Copies of this chain bind each other. A is one copy, B any other.
Amino acid sequence: MSLDELNPPPPGHEQDGSDAGPPETSLDADDRLKPEFVSAVLERVEEGDSEGARALVEPLHPADIADLFELTPAEERRALAAAISDLLDADVFAEMNDWVREDLIDALDPHEVAEIAGELDTDDAVAIIEDMEEDDQRAVLRALAPDDRAAIEEALSYGEETAGRLMQRELIAVPEHWTVGDVLDYLRRNEDLTTDFWEIFVVDTGHKPIGACALSWILRTPRSIAISDVMKREQTLIPVDMDQEEVALRFQKYALISAAVVDGAGRLVGMITVDDVVHIIQEEAGEDILKLSGAGEGDINEPVLDSYKSRVRWLIANLGTALVAATIISLFEGTISKMVTLAALMPIVAGVGGNAGTQTMAVTVRALATNQLTQSNTWRTIRREIRVAMLNGVTVAAVIGVGVALVFSNHQLGAVIAAAMLANILIAGLAGVLIPLTLEKLDADPAVASSVFVTMMTDSMGFLVFLGLASASGLVR
């Protein structure tokens, strides 16, 4: 980030102050680019009127320019990039959807990519480079300035989705014997320090962090006070190899704005700020729904073939569990042929059971993901879900039992479906809580595999209990 931000924007950018962000004409009430605006820009690009396109796009925030590219059809993105190339800067790339960015970056030569990466903080530069193919990655790294190159190479040496990839190396660290005045002078005199920080870190002679100091505390303290008297000694340190989901949970739990990242020896190697974590919190929390449904990354910008590959695998697995259910039904073909109504009623038992299982599973998966469900309250949670299942089961069983008994004038059929429904909702509740818990215990991601197993249980058991009771109760002779 450059020092431009220390100065007021140039006159062309000036705004009336009572209004937020870009001009009203481009954004709707929900802060999304209006379709008319997007098509106006693309029309000008198509007509070769780059000037006109630039005039429209220039007032936008980088995040909105990134959105503009996402909303542009894939085949027109490169023409748009060419038309407004001087507005397509590093900040815009940092805000862009991964797939869209990859597509645009592919069209650039390594020197252009290196120029963009050189302008960004380490974390954003790494985000752009990490998904490139190895040859292209090497070419970009060669084209970078030596410092930037070393910083990015080091970041790439940490595992994907770890704190090491997420952190920026640009931070403010000061020795413990300094005063507040020393810190102020240091910050004012060194123009090339980052401006993107909210806390400073105090380190010992071995560069190990011993405290952190919010900028508001420094601002409110006289120059003569020692920084070690202002800093907070307890701070949350992030190991460089910590998984990003874990990092996000710490930020959330302890309401952090920034945190020091330390290597295996406890030395300060970087800093993570909350604005980088916000994306991860959103992604990780939103991901569970996509994982549970087997929709892979579930990004609407993902290439069709990639979506197909991740989704079809899941559908085939689902086909397997459906075959188990079909096999169970086929064992009762004799029973069904004597009373075909059973075939019409059996999906009700399986379907409502499946739904009850999904409810419990969703609650359990979220509680595990947010660290709310731990060993201390496992048994309590299981008992709780059984109670809810019991209440749900009795209610739904009563409704369906009475309904079927009346419609078919067959009390015994009503009793059989009510008993099967109650049993299946109880099975669903147990499966919905025990399956995710077991997967978590086995160090598997409960969001990924739970729903296949839960559906298999509720389908198979639903058919088995209903048809089995119908057959054993003497309803069908």
Contact = CB atoms under 8 A, between A and B. Distances in A.
Contacts of A34: 375
Given A290-B363, A293-B361, A304-B384, A70 B312 contact: no
A289 B388 contact: no
Contacts of A250: 31
Interface residues of A, number: 162
Contacts of A373: 300
Contact of A281 (B32, B215, B278, B375): B278
Contacts of A473: none
B275 A256 contact: yes
B359 A294 contact: yes
Contact of A325 (B217, B336, B351): B351
Interface in A1-51: 5-9, 13-15, 17-21, 30-35, 38-39
B359 A295 contact: yes
A250 B30 CA distance: 9
A178 interface: no
Interface string A351-364: 11001101111111
Contacts of A14: 233
**Most interface-central of A7, A39, A222, A355 (chain B CB within 10 A):** A355
Contacts of A279: 252
Contact of A366 (B204, B249, B290): B290
Interface in A186-214: 187-188, 193, 195-198, 204, 208-211, 214
A222 B389 CA distance: 66
A363 B8 contact: no
B73 A8 contact: no
Contacts of A210: 17
B396 A362 contact: no
Nearest to A429: B311
A301 B67 CA distance: 39
B196 A216 contact: yes
B355 A314 contact: yes
Nearest to A433: B300
Contacts of A197: 216
A251 interface: yes
Contact of A33 (B188, B228, B374): B374
A5 B230 CA distance: 8
Nearest to A215: B215
Contact of A352 (B318, B347, B362): B318
Nearest to A220: B187
B362 A293 contact: yes
A384 B73 CA distance: 11
A211 to B, nearest CB: 7
A333 interface: yes
A6 B363 CA distance: 41
Contacts of A361: 293
B71 A376 contact: yes
A292 B358 CA distance: 9
Contacts of A233: 8-9, 13-15, 17
A79 interface: no
A225 to B, nearest CB: 9
Interface stretch (A102-110, A125-133, A159-167, A234-242): A234-242
A347 B342 CA distance: 13
A400 interface: yes
A281 to B, nearest CB: 5
A380 B372 CA distance: 40
A198 B195 contact: no
A198 B289 contact: no
A127 B407 CA distance: 50
A253 interface: yes
A231 interface: yes
A24 to B, nearest CB: 13
A348 interface: yes
**Most interface-central of A32, A275, A347 (chain B CB within 10 A):** A347
A308 to B, nearest CB: 4
19 contacts: A8-B232, A17-B210, A18-B237, A19-B237, A21-B236, A63-B254, A195-B216, A197-B216, A198-B198, A215-B215, A215-B219, A218-B219, A252-B279, A282-B285, A288-B289, A289-B292, A300-B372, A315-B425, A333-B340
Nearest 9 pairs between A and B by C-beta? A285-B285, A215-B215, A255-B275, A289-B289, A293-B362, A343-B343, A329-B344, A285-B286, A17-B210
